[in-house]
A = this chain, B = another copy of it.
Amino acid sequence: MSDLLERLRGRGWRMTAQRRVVAEVLDGDHVHLTADEVHARAVAKLPEISRATVYNTLGELVSLGEVLEVATDRRAKRYDPNAHRPHQHLVCARCGAIRDVHPAGNPLADLPDSERFGFVVSAVEVTYRGVCPNCAGA
């Protein structure tokens, strides 16, 4: 199950009930919850947990590189526990469903020097948009 928790323990992360619950909520594939969604699920397991703690904990997990921040819309940031393998995102324009995807090739290589304006370019984020089978079907 939760190798996230295992990894965190191994890194000497001080363990508290609140942190454990947040880490447990953020487990699985194609998980992209907002902070408030994480809070809601955490409250179900540990009713006293506060919003501030969820924000703090998510921020730390991001700093540790164990969770990624994803901004697929202009609403709330989402948190993606799939930080161990590089990937991009595919988003349904209707229902907002998000899938992790792995495009072929290296998008960085597609930006010619003449289009770099002297920047040292080090990263690229790609968001594919479309309609998911569920929304298209109906």
Interface residues of A, Cβ cutoff 8 Å to B: 69, 71, 74, 77, 90, 92-93, 99, 101-105, 107-108, 110-112, 115-133, 136
Contacts and interface: CB of A to CB of B under 8 A. Distances in A.
Q: State the oligomeric state as a number of copies.
A: 2
Given A126-B125, A127-B124, A105 B110 contact: yes
A110 B119 contact: no
Contacts of A110: 103-105, 107
26 contacts: A71-B74, A74-B77, A90-B119, A90-B121, A93-B122, A99-B119, A101-B111, A101-B115, A103-B107, A103-B111, A104-B111, A107-B107, A117-B133, A118-B132, A119-B130, A119-B133, A120-B136, A121-B128, A121-B129, A122-B130, A122-B131, A124-B127, A124-B128, A124-B129, A125-B126, A125-B129
